[in-house]
Structure 1
């Protein structure tokens, strides 16, 4: 669990990027490629301030995610990205006045419960962190519910 700060940073930068992209596309209005050069239109979109900032934030998020992946199991880290949906839904409700109905709230609840369960899977019964590589190179270990191999195949 010691990499949770980096995982949450990845989640929040991912969510922030989504919000910036939405703001950028709202400022540009509906897109139409009719009567224009598609490449020039794409460049106009990419280099509009909010879209460019959003894409840049995605790059930061991806760099953080790559760091996380170098430290923890993919099956542990990746599900946390679903929390970006939770953050986007909540912030979009307040910033863009998007609908946050009962179905979305229920979905957010399920996402949060699932993420907590996955986070708990990052510990063995002794409370040791298994979210990281946590095992000696080239060894295998057995915990209460699964066999771990690390460093055997790379």
Structure 2
């Protein structure tokens, strides 16, 4: 049970990392002619920085997951992040998600469900 909790934490932190980095990059605007100063501007943008921290935490938790579960079993569970990113981007950014994309997300969810059965 603890392994599944760790997987969930890793997925949620990974999703938050994606959403926070997107929010930060939206605040910065499109990149044009990036240089070393742009790199630091990106890294230290508060939302991007928070997203990177969330990603780092997700990676550390993922290492704990790998010590407990078979990789062939655990890795497909990360695909549940696709569903959460889609829902989060719909909520945070008002992204338009077409019926075709929803169908793809449903297929991914079905695959995760099948994979989760040992």
TM-score, normalized by length of structure 1?
A: 0.74
Match of residue 126 from structure 1: none
- Post-superposition shift, 1:91? 1.1
In structure 1, the gaps of 5 or more residues are 122-154
> Which one has the bigger strand percentage?
1
- Please tell me whether Structure 1 or Structure 2 has the larger radius of gyration of its CA atoms: 1
Give the root-mean-square deviation of aligned CA atoms. Answer: 1.1
Match of residue 72 from structure 2: 75
Matched, 1:91 2:103: no
Cα deviations across residues 10-45 of structure 1 (Å, max 9, x unaligned)?
Answer: 1111000000000000000111126xxx11110111
Match of residue 55 from structure 2: 58
Match of residue 100 from structure 2: 103
* Counterpart-to-counterpart distance in 2, 1:29 and 1:40: 15
3-state DSSP of counterpart to 2:32: coil
Question: Runs (4+) of structure 1 moved beyond 6 Å?
Answer: none
Residue of structure 2 aligned with 1:44, choices 21, 41, 44: 41
- Post-superposition shift, 1:2? 4.5
3-state DSSP of counterpart to 1:3: helix
- Post-superposition shift, 1:6? 0.7
Match of residue 27 from structure 2: 27
Counterparts of residues 6-25 of structure 1 (less than 5 Å): 6-25=6-25
> Which one has the bigger helix percentage?
2
* Counterpart-to-counterpart distance in 2, 1:2 and 1:32: 45
Matched, 1:118 2:115: yes
* Counterpart-to-counterpart distance in 1, 2:76 and 2:100: 20
Match of residue 5 from structure 1: 5
- Post-superposition shift, 1:90? 0.8
